[in-house]
């Protein structure tokens, strides 16, 4: 595998192989000396055209624990501001003999565009509203660590599905694994054609929470457009999750969130910090999964 | 004490002369038998009178809060029951507008306190009726709003309408649309046509309505949402609605008695009582509306009762406010259609009660049947009178029928089994 661009393109074997590698690497992250020489001498460049702290740091730590040299490139201080095209920026970094490019970009399809025009390995760390495959893999990894097996599980994704790269990557990967995916949110935040993603649409919150795993997504009213949600107060009442809503969920329902959490909007604090929450496990597992992905890539 | 409406022409699928027994606010029985032990039952002799389900008027401006000098919840409720109307949907373009659950709850509470008819509040679709952000639709529905409408103002942005339709769909509600392409309406004062050309009054074309009707039908197709088209006035709009219904889309429509009985000719006098939005249109439009009503393309009658103080009307035609009162004019004007043989009594009941009840999902009313709420209008179709201060109980008198001779009147109105209009 040269690149990781899309969860949609991953086979069941690809996914299990990454999960298994991540499992074997996971233990390194709990050691006193968190280092393995797997990528010694390699150069990993984090190209983040959108702000991110968590994902960028996670990739940086992953690279460093594999003994690679990690370099961060922030778009605001870059030549992009001076009018350089994305392709030229990539060609320049490539000329410095980088081995892996980790790209986050606000335009859907940007990672694919670059991967097809570069000999360097490319990891998509989020392209517009399209995909965020390492997030999906770390979510699935987290689920497997708790639930032990994946097939036959039902996962509900709640919130802004239409504009979520996290939702889309999870849906593709989970469908490939034979998991059942339910979506819930106001129609303004769902795809217009409910059949487009081949998932069930839950009619109400009660139906939504009857699931083994619930992933709530971050609501950003300012960014998603004020027209799609009348108010955060109304969102939280009809589409957010609190302890009361979990009455109809299985006792051992697993709660995930890609972060950062808007406490009290899509998820109440009591749930975010409660026994069912695996939000911080997701963050920890993210490092292992990204290490596994970096190990899986090979230049052609 | 139970109440008997004795010997009236009861209007259901057929018109049958019989008796109605009302008990505990409900219709207890419809029977040819006179009950035994008649001492403990109140009897209202309805011989020669027509008994219809209480009218449901889906489009009323009550002006409170903010414009109480034109009308208020109480005076509007009185006008309703004097007109045989027992449920009214109040529009949200008050000051402040009805754009949150607190105002909706307040109107519902006032409606109960006044105790004449049910005021079912529409809430605004957008905050402040500015056409930009959706109101808290879920929260507002739990307070009891009947639907959503920015009536008085069109929703100019197609994107706002799209999102409104998607969002209301989730909650099983609908949007009542005031269809007007404002730039095309362009400050007109009447229908653009022959009369506006002859009289030199700036006109607005019928397409200012039909373009928006077509747009919103397309958006219903896109979103699976539901619209109710307010005060439809043109033949072209009717054609769009017909096609939408053929395609099985969730579209219903209303027409006002004014647009069914009057035309642009009324504006020749430059009398601002003839000024209304949408404007009175051509005779061809009027006939198309009648056809549409008969064939079911238009579902129901709504008055668009729009009271304005004389100060807002006694002005140059161009500067006068748009609007006509109408709560007490449904019965005489629709009775005239029955008398002229255009529609039957049963159709009268369908377009004024049964169909609005269906659109509003009110399964407890809209027809005369055992077990339904005893909301009833008793109509004397022969009663002739001049529509003036002695009849009109609205605070306003802006109607082209002012001081005109009318025939047909609600002589009794019964709400929840209680007589709220004794015809005096």
Question: What residue ranges define each of the domains in chain A, with the CATH number in brackets?
Answer: 7-131+286-296 (3.40.50.1370), 133-282 (3.40.50.1370)
Q: Which residues contact B155 (CB under 8 A, 6 or more apart)?
A: B125, B126, B131, B161, B164, B177
- The verdict on whether omega for the bond into residue B45 sits within 30 degrees of 0, i.e. cis, is no
Q: Is A176 on the interface with B (CB under 8 A)?
A: no
User: In the prediction, which pLDDT does B424 show?
Assistant: 60
Q: How many angstroms separate the CA of residue A268 from the nearest CA in chain B?
A: 19
User: Do the interacting molecules here have an ipTM over 0.85?
Assistant: yes
Please judge whether B169 and A227 are an interchain contact, meaning their C-beta atoms are less than 8 angstroms apart.
no
Pairing of strands B418-421, B405-415: antiparallel
Distances (CA, A) of B369 to A81, B31, B51: 74, 11, 12
Residues in A closer than 8 angstroms to B163, CB to CB, are 188, 227-228
Indicate whether A77 pLDDT > 90: no
Q: How many angstroms separate the CA of residue B134 from the nearest CA in chain A?
A: 5
Count of residues in chain A: 300
Distances (CA, A) of B194 to A163, B184, B202, B293: 52, 18, 11, 25
User: In the prediction, which pLDDT does B205 show?
Assistant: 98
Indicate whether A274 pLDDT > 80: yes
How far is residue B35's CA from residue B244's CA, in Å, rounded to a whole number?
49
Q: How many angstroms separate the CA of residue A70 from the nearest CA in chain B?
A: 44
Strands of B155-271, DSSP E: 175-177, 190-191, 203-204, 227-229, 251-255
Structure tokens at B129: 């009726």
Angle between helices A279-296 and A54-65 (to 10 degrees): 50
How far is residue A209's CA from residue A247's CA, in Å, rounded to a whole number?
9
- The verdict on whether omega for the bond into residue A187 sits within 30 degrees of 0, i.e. cis, is no
DSSP character at residue B146: -
B255 close to B229: Cβ distance less than 8 angstroms: no
Q: What is the pLDDT of residues A118-168, one digit of tens each?
A: 999 999 999 999 999 999 999 999 999 999 999 999 999 999 999 999 999
Q: Is residue B195 classed as helix, strand or coil in its secondary structure?
A: helix
Taking CA–CA distances from B139, the nearest residue in chain A reads A234
User: In the prediction, which pLDDT does A56 show?
Assistant: 95
B53 close to B375: Cβ distance less than 8 angstroms: yes
* CA atoms A176, A178, A184, A187: torsion sign: positive
Closest CA relative to residue B43, chosen from B16, B22, B15, B25: B22
How far is residue A189's CA from residue B276's CA, in Å, rounded to a whole number?
39
Closest CA relative to residue B125, chosen from B21, B9, B227, B267: B227
**Per-residue pLDDT of chain B in tens (424 residues, 90 and over written 9):** 899 999 999 999 999 999 999 999 999 999 998 877 666 899 999 999 999 999 999 999 999 999 999 999 999 999 999 999 999 999 999 999 999 999 999 999 999 999 999 999 999 999 999 999 999 999 999 999 999 999 999 999 999 999 999 999 999 999 999 999 999 999 999 999 999 999 999 999 999 999 999 999 999 999 999 999 999 999 999 999 999 999 999 999 999 999 999 999 999 999 999 999 999 999 999 999 999 999 999 999 999 999 999 999 999 999 999 999 999 999 999 999 999 999 999 999 999 999 999 999 999 999 999 999 999 999 999 999 999 999 999 999 999 999 999 999 999 999 999 999 987 6
Closest CA relative to residue B178, chosen from B155, B158, B203: B155
Q: What is the CA radius of gyration of chain B?
A: 21
Please judge whether A230 and B136 are an interchain contact, meaning their C-beta atoms are less than 8 angstroms apart.
yes
A101 close to A121: Cβ distance less than 8 angstroms: yes
Judge if pTM exceeds 0.90: yes
Domain with CATH 2.30.40.10 in chain B: 3-50+373-421
How far is residue B377's CA from residue B345's CA, in Å, rounded to a whole number?
13
In this structure, the dihedral spanned by the alpha carbons of residues B128, B130, B132 and B138, taken in order and rounded to 10 degrees, is: 40
Structure tokens at B339: 């008398």
Closest CA relative to residue A89, chosen from A65, A114, A69: A114
Indicate whether A221 pLDDT > 80: no
Q: Which residues contact B287 (CB under 8 A, 6 or more apart)?
A: none
Q: How confident is the model at residue A300 (pLDDT cuts 50, 70, 90)?
A: low
Beta-sheet strand order (sheet of B55-60): B55-60, B85-90, B118-123, B147-148, B175-177, B227-229, B251-255, B300-301
Residues in A closer than 8 angstroms to B167, CB to CB, are 186-188, 230
Give the count of beta carbons closer than 10 Å to the beta carbon of residue A116.
10
Residues in B closer than 8 angstroms to A230, CB to CB, are 127, 133-138, 167
Domain with CATH 3.20.20.140 in chain B: 54-359
Please judge whether A234 and B139 are an interchain contact, meaning their C-beta atoms are less than 8 angstroms apart.
yes
- The verdict on whether omega for the bond into residue A32 sits within 30 degrees of 0, i.e. cis, is no
Domain B54-359 falls under CATH 3.30.465.10: no
* CA atoms B336, B341, B343, B346: torsion sign: positive
How far is residue B141's CA from residue B147's CA, in Å, rounded to a whole number?
8
Measured between CB atoms, which of A187, A192, A234 is closest to B136? A234
User: In the prediction, which pLDDT does A81 show?
Assistant: 73
Q: Is residue B217 classed as helix, strand or coil in its secondary structure?
A: helix
Distances (CA, A) of B260 to A95, B191, B231, B345, B347: 78, 15, 10, 17, 15
Residues in A closer than 8 angstroms to B169, CB to CB, are 187
Q: Is residue B334 classed as helix, strand or coil in its secondary structure?
A: helix
Enclosing H/E stretch for B31: strand B26-31
Give the count of beta carbons closer than 10 Å to the beta carbon of residue B159.
11
Q: To probe the interface with B, which of A221, A222, A230, A232 has the most B CB atoms within 10 Å? A: A230
User: In the prediction, which pLDDT does A79 show?
Assistant: 66
User: In the prediction, which pLDDT does B378 show?
Assistant: 98
How far is residue B36's CA from residue B399's CA, in Å, rounded to a whole number?
48
How far is residue A288's CA from residue A32's CA, in Å, rounded to a whole number?
16
Enclosing H/E stretch for B300: strand B300-301
How far is residue B316's CA from residue B162's CA, in Å, rounded to a whole number?
38
Please judge whether B136 and A233 are an interchain contact, meaning their C-beta atoms are less than 8 angstroms apart.
yes
- For the domain covering B3-50+373-421, report its CATH number: 2.30.40.10
How far is residue A106's CA from residue A84's CA, in Å, rounded to a whole number?
16
Enclosing H/E stretch for B239: helix B235-246
Q: Give the helix, strand, coil percentages of chain B, each rounded to 5.
A: 35, 25, 40
User: In the prediction, which pLDDT does A195 show?
Assistant: 83
Q: What is the pLDDT of residues B11-38, one digit of tens each?
A: 999 999 999 999 999 999 999 988 776 6
Please judge whether A227 and B132 are an interchain contact, meaning their C-beta atoms are less than 8 angstroms apart.
yes
Q: To probe the interface with A, which of B126, B130, B139 has the most A CB atoms within 10 Å? A: B139
User: In the prediction, which pLDDT does A78 show?
Assistant: 65
User: In the prediction, which pLDDT does A298 show?
Assistant: 84
Phi, psi of B395 (to 5 degrees): -70, -15
What residues of A are labeled active site?
54-55, 82, 104, 132
Assign 3-class secondary structure to chain A: CCCECCHHHCCHHHHHHHHHHHHHHHHHHHCCCCCCHHHCCCEEEEEECCCCCHHHHHHHHHHHHCCCEEEEEEHHHCHHHHCCCHHHHHHHHHHCCCCEEEEEECCCCHHHHHHCCCCCEEEEEEECCCECHHHHHHHHHHHHHHHCCCCCCEEEEECCCCCCHHHHHHHHHHHHCCCEEEEECCHHHCCCCCCCCCCEECCCHHHHCCCCEEEECCCCHHHHCCCCCCCHHHHHHHCCECHHHHHHCCCCCEEECCCCCCECCCECHHHHCCCCECHHHHHHHHHHHHHHHHHHCCCC
B345 close to B415: Cβ distance less than 8 angstroms: no
Residues in A closer than 8 angstroms to B126, CB to CB, are none
A169 close to A136: Cβ distance less than 8 angstroms: yes
Q: To probe the interface with A, which of B124, B133, B225 has the most A CB atoms within 10 Å? A: B133
Taking CB atoms and an 8 Å cut-off, how many pairs form between chains A and B?
A: 40
How far is residue B415's CA from residue B116's CA, in Å, rounded to a whole number?
7
How far is residue B420's CA from residue B359's CA, in Å, rounded to a whole number?
25
Q: How many angstroms separate the CA of residue B73 from the nearest CA in chain A?
A: 28
User: In the prediction, which pLDDT does A84 show?
Assistant: 86
DSSP character at residue B109: H
């Amino acid at each position: 595998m040269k690149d990781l661009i899309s969860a949609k393109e991953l086979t069941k074997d690809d996914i299990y192989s990454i999960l298994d590698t991540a499992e074997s690497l996971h233990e390194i992250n709990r050691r006193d000396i968190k280092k393995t020489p797997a990528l010694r001498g390699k150069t990993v460049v984090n190209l983040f055209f959108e702000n991110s702290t968590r994902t960028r740091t996670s990739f940086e730590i992953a690279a460093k624990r594999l003994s690679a040299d990690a370099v961060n490139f922030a778009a605001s201080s870059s030549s992009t501001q001076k009018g350089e095209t994305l392709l030229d920026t990539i060609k320049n970094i490539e000329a410095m003999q980088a081995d892996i490019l980790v790209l986050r970009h606000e335009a859907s399809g940007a990672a694919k565009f670059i991967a097809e025009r570069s000999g360097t390995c490319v990891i998509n760390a989020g392209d517009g509203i399209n995909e965020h495959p390492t997030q999906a893999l770390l979510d699935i990894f987290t689920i497997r660590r708790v639930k032990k097996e994946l097939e036959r599980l039902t996962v509900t994704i709640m919130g802004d599905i239409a504009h979520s790269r996290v939702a889309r990557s999870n849906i593709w990967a989970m469908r490939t694994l034979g998991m059942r995916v339910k979506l819930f949110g106001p129609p303004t935040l769902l795809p217009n054609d409910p059949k487009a993603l081949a998932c069930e649409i839950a009619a109400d919150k009660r139906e939504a929470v009857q699931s083994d795993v619930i992933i709530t997504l971050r609501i950003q009213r300012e960014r998603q457009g004020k027209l799609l949600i009348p108010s955060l107060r109304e969102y939280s009442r009809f589409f957010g999750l609190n302890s009361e809503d979990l009455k109809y969920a299985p006792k051992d329902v697993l709660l995930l969130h890609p972060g950062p959490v808007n406490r009290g909007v899509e998820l109440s604090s009591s749930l975010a910090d409660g026994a069912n929450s695996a939000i911080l496990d997701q963050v920890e597992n993210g490092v292992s999964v990204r290490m596994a992905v970096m190990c899986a890539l090979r230049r052609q | 004490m139970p109440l008997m409406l004795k010997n009236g022409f009861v209007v259901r699928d057929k018109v049958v002369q019989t008796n109605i027994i009302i008990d505990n606010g409900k219709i207890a029985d419809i029977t040819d038998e006179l009950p035994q032990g008649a001492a403990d039952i109140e009897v209202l002799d309805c011989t020669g009178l027509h008994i219809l389900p209480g009218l449901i008027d889906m489009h009323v401006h009550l002006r409170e809060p903010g414009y109480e000098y034109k009308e208020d919840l109480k005076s509007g409720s009185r006008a309703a029951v004097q007109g045989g109307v027992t449920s009214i949907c109040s529009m949200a373009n008050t000051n402040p507008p009805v754009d949150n659950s607190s105002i909706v709850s307040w109107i519902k509470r006032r409606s109960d306190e006044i105790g004449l008819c049910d005021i079912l509040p529409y809430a605004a679709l957008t905050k402040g009726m500015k056409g930009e952000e959706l109101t808290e639709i879920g929260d507002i529905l739990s307070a009891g709003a009947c639907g959503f409408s920015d009536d008085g103002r069109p929703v100019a942005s197609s994107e706002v309408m799209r999102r409104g339709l998607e969002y209301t769909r989730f909650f099983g509600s609908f949007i009542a649309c005031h269809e007007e392409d404002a730039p095309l309406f362009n400050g007109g004062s009447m229908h653009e046509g022959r009369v506006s050309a002859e009289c030199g009054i700036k006109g607005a074309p019928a397409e200012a309505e039909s373009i928006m009707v077509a747009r919103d039908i397309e958006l219903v197709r896109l979103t699976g949402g539901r619209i109710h088209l307010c005060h439809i006035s043109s033949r072209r709009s009717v054609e769009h609605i017909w096609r939408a219904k053929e395609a099985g889309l969730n579209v219903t429509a209303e027409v006002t008695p004014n647009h069914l009985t009057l035309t642009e000719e009324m504006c020749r006098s430059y009398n601002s009582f003839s000024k209304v939005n949408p404007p009175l249109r051509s005779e061809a439009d009027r006939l198309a509306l009648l056809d549409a009503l008969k064939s079911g393309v238009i579902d129901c009658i709504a008055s668009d009762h729009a009271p304005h103080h004389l100060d807002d009307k006694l002005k140059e035609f161009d500067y006068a406010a748009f609007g006509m009162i109408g709560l007490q004019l449904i019965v005489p004007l629709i009775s005239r259609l029955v008398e002229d043989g255009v529609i039957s009594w049963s159709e009268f009941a369908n377009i004024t009660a049964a169909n609005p009840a269906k659109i509003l999902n009110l399964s407890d009313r809209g027809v005369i049947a055992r077990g339904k709420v005893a909301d009833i209008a008793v109509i004397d179709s022969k009663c002739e009178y001049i529509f003036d201060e002695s009849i009109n109980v609205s605070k306003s008198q802006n109607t082209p029928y002012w001081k005109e001779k009318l025939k047909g009147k609600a002589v009794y109105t019964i709400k929840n089994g209680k007589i709220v209009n004794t015809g005096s």
